[in-house]
Amino acid sequence: MAGDELLRQADIALKTAKRSSDTAISFFDRKMESAVKQRLQLSQALNHAIERHELSLAMQPQVNKYQQLIGFEALLRWQHPELGEISPADFIPLAETTGAILKIGDWVLEKSCETLVRWATSSRSKHLKLSLNVSPIQFRRRDFVPRVEQLLKRTGANPNNLRFELTESLMAGDINFIVSQMNSLRELGVSMSLDDFGTGYASLAYLTQLPLDELKIDRAFVQDLDQHGKGELLTETLISLGRSMNLAVIAEGVETEKQFARLQELGCEFFQGYLFGRPSVDAERYFKD
Ligand code: C2E
Ligand code: MG
Ligand code: MG
């Protein structure tokens, strides 16, 4: 085998070991090579996904305890020409490693602002809030706030109806900078939500420092409600933590009437999940008469 081929294979094994959470040693095999090829092909396709109109935003309804619609979460969908629909859980991490997330994130932001402008033209939808997911890679950029400001100006979207969902992994970075970004965005009128709350890093210590408007209780804690006991205690604690900090508390992944009822008893005010509606590219079906 030629020297450079050996080095190339060693490099593939090294990258695989780095990505893996449970091993630091990794030997090259052919399967690894095809996985690398697949990632490469996928990341190249992702680079063109916007121009090729393969991305769309699915909207999932959010409701209050009377099941009245209060807004939507925008969830990214990628329709790959050969592979079909690819889950954001698979392609967002890839886009984050290649940097494609910046262009994609801009696209999501722009489409969301345009959607808000459209909703503003009808009395049935002008009060609705739109939550979108922001990757830590996007949020840590120095030019993120001016970009948002520019886009709000250009589209004329009402910032008071725009909400950013951030994840706890964001707090692993320079916390002072993150807090100042959040404050600047709130000055523009955009509100801040902490997504997947309870699953991430030990951000409890930071929680009081963060200028948040909403806590989003992760689906795992909603599922725990079916078992009672310890799981339920934890869910209750997370909800009362949010309420004691004067934050809106929303639960995600609500699938059953039983979960919905129990969450209300525990003090949760807002809800999202299949029980109220699946993500749909046609959000208007949720507020048409
Ligand atoms: P997330 O922000 O926590 O979104 C909630 C996920 O739970 C969505 O998965 C949604 O379809 C799913 N879900 C909602 N209700 C239920 C339910 O009742 N039961 C179950 N089993 N699942 C439910 P999805 O759409 O596959 O998105 C996965 C993740 O991808 C999101 O998690 C978010 O972290 C990320 N993501 C999606 N869109 C974007 C985006 O535009 N930008 C970034 N950076 N990340 C995104
Ligand atoms: Mg989210
Ligand atoms: Mg979530």
Fill in the amino acid letter for 12. Answer: I
Question: Is residue 246 a contact partner of residue 240, using CB atoms and an 8 Å limit?
Answer: no
As a whole number of angstroms, the distance between CA 77 and CA 69 comes to 22
Residue 124 pLDDT > 90: yes
Chain segment 259-275, per-residue pLDDT in tens: 999 999 999 999 999 99
As a whole number of angstroms, the distance between CA 265 and CA 225 comes to 12
| 76 and 18 share one domain | no
In a domain, 47, yes or no: no
| 198 CB within 6 A, ligand 1 | no
Q: What value does the mean pLDDT of the chain take?
A: 91
Question: Averaging pLDDT over each range in 20-34, 47-61, 192-206, which range is the top one?
Answer: 47-61
Comparing 140 with 26, which gets the higher pLDDT?
140
| 200 CB within 6 A, ligand 1 | no
**pLDDT of the residue at 21:** 65
**pLDDT of the residue at 231:** 80
| 259 CB within 6 A, ligand 1 | no
- Ligand 1: residue of 133, 164, 199 to mutate (most ligand atoms within 8 A of CB) is 133
**pLDDT of the residue at 230:** 76
| 109 and 249 share one domain | yes
Number of domains in the chain: 2
Chain segment 73-82, per-residue pLDDT in tens: 999 999 999 9
Calculate how far, in angstroms, residue 194's C-alpha sits from the geometric centre of ligand 3: 9
**pLDDT of the residue at 193:** 98
| 75 CB within 6 A, ligand 1 | yes
In a domain, 42, yes or no: no
In a domain, 44, yes or no: no
**pLDDT of the residue at 288:** 81
| 116 and 31 share one domain | no
Residue 108 pLDDT > 90: yes
In the structure, what pLDDT confidence band is assigned to residue 148 with cuts at 50, 70 and 90? very high
| 26 and 107 share one domain | no
| 209 and 263 share one domain | yes
In a domain, 43, yes or no: no
| 146 and 226 share one domain | yes
| 101 and 24 share one domain | no
Which residue range is the domain that position 10 belongs to?
3-37
Calculate how far, in angstroms, residue 75's C-alpha sits from the geometric centre of ligand 1: 6
Residue 125 pLDDT > 70: yes
Percent of the chain scoring above 70 in pLDDT: 96
Span 44-63, average pLDDT: 96
Distances (CA, A) of 275 to 63, 220, 259: 10, 16, 10
- Residue 129 pairs in a beta bridge with 71
Span 143-166, average pLDDT: 98
Kindly report the protein residue whose alpha carbon is nearest to atom 8 of ligand 1: 75
| 108 CB within 6 A, ligand 1 | yes
| 274: its two tokens | 């299949």
| CATH number of the domain encompassing residue 167 | 3.20.20.450
| 172 and 251 share one domain | yes
Chain segment 163-221, per-residue pLDDT in tens: 999 998 888 889 999 999 999 999 999 999 999 998 876 567 788 889 999 999 999 99
| 22 and 158 share one domain | no
